[in-house]
Structure 1
């Protein structure tokens, strides 16, 4: 486990970067042209980034990025 200290500006920047990364991965996961192996790799990475974001995001913001894994399995 690593610990890091961020000032307010750095926290806002990290929040922004993680949200943009989650948005981009959601967009990629909705692209049916991508190979299933690539989509699985993106989904695994999404879980990791989402857990990072969940450590400090408000519940209301977090709900925007929550994925229902059972539903996403059927969409693939």
Structure 2
């Protein structure tokens, strides 16, 4: 396990960056031109980023990015 000390400003910046990336992935997953294999890799990246997001964001923010089974590709 690795520890990390960051201040509130840095937490907000990390939260913002992860949100932007999650939103971009969500848009790209819906694109029909993208190959299924690439979408699978994007899905894995989304899971990792969401795990990080849960560590820095409020639970109310996290619920906006929870994906349901019906949304998955």
Please, what TM-score do these two structures have when normalized by structure 2?
Answer: 0.91
What runs of 5+ residues in structure 1 fail to find an aligned partner? none
What runs of 5+ residues in structure 2 fail to find an aligned partner? none
Matched, 1:11 2:11: yes
Using CA pairs under 8 Å that are at least 6 residues apart, name the structure with larger relative contact order, 1 or 2. Answer: 2
Quote the Cα distance in structure 2 between the aligned partners of 1:17 and 1:28: 17
Matched, 1:34 2:71: no
Q: Calculate the aligned-residue CA RMSD, in Å.
A: 1.1
Q: Which moved more, 1:33-42 or 1:59-68?
A: 59-68
Please, what TM-score do these two structures have when normalized by structure 1?
Answer: 0.88
Moved over 3 A (4+): none
